[in-house]
Structure 1
Amino acid sequence: FVAWRSPHPTPFILFTCADWCYQSQFSCDHQCNSKYFIDCDGRYQSPINVVTRKTLLDERLTPFKFTNYQQIFRGFIKNNGHSVQVGVPHLSTISGGGLSTTYKAVQFHLHWGNSKGPGSEHTIDGEQYPMELHIVHMKHHYTDLSTALADQEGVAVLVASSTVNKYSLNVFVSDGNTSLPPVSLAQLLPPEQNLTSFYRYKGSLTTPGCTEAVVWTLFENTIPLSSDQLRAFFDLKFHDGKPMVDTFRPVQPLNGRQVFRSGATVALTSTALLVAALASALGLSQLN
């Protein structure tokens, strides 16, 4: 099992067998102890706090090209014991945006806090948001994430403040899953014209084994989240039966890394339209 001991920036990470746990699961009865996940103590770990005044403009960070992001698919919302995850069963890709090649989408998942505090993994100028969406991609020629993670830039993750809906309330137990209403990846994000302003840095997975093979993109434009939508996630359970809350890793030291920013200006859009798009994408409007 794994425990992250905050507020220290470097995690004290431990494990037994092949499983791990967040600090919110740690107790006198459930102590995470054994050996280190060595890579999780590396120098280029994620998440980080982005200090906007220290970011460097990079003209190579052009707008992304999203291919098949509009394609509707049906999948499963899975409680994997640590988060809510949805596999992407068809070929959706991203290119441009300063990436070295084309990356294909593999899955998306979320991180959140609790009823008393926020839960995004990355922070901007010290501000932590209620929830964070990760759309995970790997280089197009790889067939599995394990192989991609052997490449220092094998994985690319798009990050946005986002939410899913109460449909996930059916996923109470570890390894439970339920059908996802028809959805496209494009419906999970703001409109494409609002995704031209972003931050870029190189880091790691935020869960064990913390492999340092990720190109991170943090979109500046965020999506508002209602308290009712967020509250739905607090009924989910970890694999040990405890409430699935505070599913985020504390921010890690930059250790000399440079964070870059794109030169585009955010085109503001109606927050009501964004929330409606998310609700529609994940079936909230179909619930009683």
Structure 2
Amino acid sequence: MPEEGGATLYFPVGQLILPALLASCWTVCSGADWCYQSDFSCDHPCNGPKNWNHANSNCDGKQQSPINIVTRKTLKDERLTPFKFDNYQQIFKGTIKNNGHSVQVGVPHLSTVSGGGLPTSYKAVQFHLHWGNNGGPGSEHTIDGEQYPMELHIVHMKHHYSDLTTALSDAEGVAVLGFFYEKSNRANGKYDPIINALRSIKNANGNTSLLPVSLAQLIPAEQNLTSYYRYKGSLTTPGCTEAVVWTLFESPIPLSIEQLRMFSELKFHSGNSMIETFRPVQPLNGRQVFRSGGAVILASSALLMATIATALGLSQPN
């Protein structure tokens, strides 16, 4: 028995066993691979989001993503003008894959985006999604604490790079356009190629050909993309490289609850249901989030309409 200063110390057996069991379970449950919290269990040892730094030390960086955007703390930036989307209407036949963490579609490097305060033009490389559980909260970024059902990331790299690995060595080498989804009473027919393909890729590493689709059909109309937020951040999965210029658009994409639920039928590498595939929001660490002029215009329009409505109400005879 432990002794201190000649006195015998007695501990209840439970106080000795419980820490030992916890330590044992922690040793068993901490693996080299990373996973989302929804996929973590002693049956599937992996590093959940709080331990992603074990998978890659970059995940402990000071400019990590995603974040919560507090709209009243954003700063208007006149340089955040409307984007120019080139070849976003281009129809392509891609391959959709369950990569064990998400659904991903490779994009021919024909579609480019410029303007919008970006330092140069960027070409699309791939897009993927993050979602919740059967249409529940699932976006990575949040707006004033609100988490949307799903989030789309269209990943671009600077036009002169030929691969994403090289682009990630540049502090502004990657630009990701992020879009939120909202629940709708009607199915969004433009998403039929994606939704129908999910049935064929339920298991990890499953892939299938995607019916012809364009990036433009998957996102809001261009005239609705003038209101957005901008900040410097990282990839939201290991290696968490801090080389991303983030743009998050206010205008959401509608999907029916049935369409949203289809994503929850997919499986992780472990065989567990692929749900809640989002990283928790990360500290800002002094970073500034900027907003486009469009956000102010929309707010001003709403204020103007409210003022007019009030004035009309006051002018009505009793």
CA distance in 2, matches of 1:71, 1:239: 33
Is the CA contact 2:44–2:270 (under 8 Å) kept in the aligned structure 1? no
Q: Is 1:226 the counterpart of 2:256 in the alignment?
A: yes
Unaligned ranges ≥5, structure 1: 1-13, 268-288
| CA displacement at 1:172 relative to structure 2 | 1.0
In the alignment, which of 284, 288, 295 is matched to residue 254 of structure 1?
284
Is the CA contact 1:71–1:184 (under 8 Å) kept in the aligned structure 2? yes
CA distance in 1, matches of 2:180, 2:161: 28
| CA displacement at 1:129 relative to structure 2 | 0.3
In the alignment, which of 124, 127, 131 is matched to residue 143 of structure 2?
124
Render the CA deviation track for 1:229-268: whole Å, top value 9, x for unaligned: 011111101111111101000000000000000001459x
Code of the residue aligned with 1:237 in structure 2: it is K
Q: TM-score with structure 2 length normalisation? A: 0.76
| CA displacement at 1:117 relative to structure 2 | 2.9
Identify the residue that residue 96 of structure 1 maps to in structure 2: 115
- Percentage of pairs with the same residue: 75
Runs of 4+ in 1 over 4 A off after TM superposition: none
Give the structure with the larger helix fraction: 2
| CA displacement at 1:36 relative to structure 2 | 4.6
Secondary structure, aligned partner of 2:153: strand
Render the CA deviation track for 1:13-72: whole Å, top value 9, x for unaligned: x762xx421111111222225935210010000000000000000000000000111110
Identify the residue that residue 86 of structure 1 maps to in structure 2: 105
Code of the residue aligned with 1:61 in structure 2: it is L
Identify the residue that residue 276 of structure 1 maps to in structure 2: none
Identify the residue that residue 312 of structure 2 maps to in structure 1: none
Identify the residue that residue 76 of structure 1 maps to in structure 2: 95
CA distance in 2, matches of 1:215, 1:15: 31
Q: How does 1:169-208 map to 2 (within 5 A)?
A: 169-208=199-238
> Per the alignment, do residues 257 and 102 of structure 1 end up closer, same or farther by CA in structure 2, a change over 3 Å counting?
same
Is the CA contact 1:220–1:266 (under 8 Å) kept in the aligned structure 2? no
> Per the alignment, do residues 234 and 142 of structure 1 end up closer, same or farther by CA in structure 2, a change over 3 Å counting?
same
Q: How does 1:1-288 map to 2 (within 5 A)?
A: 16=32, 19-32=33-46, 35-115=54-134, 117-162=136-181, 164-264=194-294, 265-266=297-298
Q: Computing the radius of gyration over CA atoms, which structure comes out larger, 1 or 2?
A: 2
Render the CA deviation track for 1:172-204: whole Å, top value 9, x for unaligned: 111111111111111111110100110000000
CA distance in 1, matches of 2:202, 2:298: 38
Unaligned ranges ≥5, structure 2: 1-29, 182-190, 300-318
Render the CA deviation track for 1:253-284: whole Å, top value 9, x for unaligned: 000000000001459xxxxxxxxxxxxxxxxx
Render the CA deviation track for 1:96-128: whole Å, top value 9, x for unaligned: 000000000000000001037310000000000
CA distance in 2, matches of 1:220, 1:148: 27
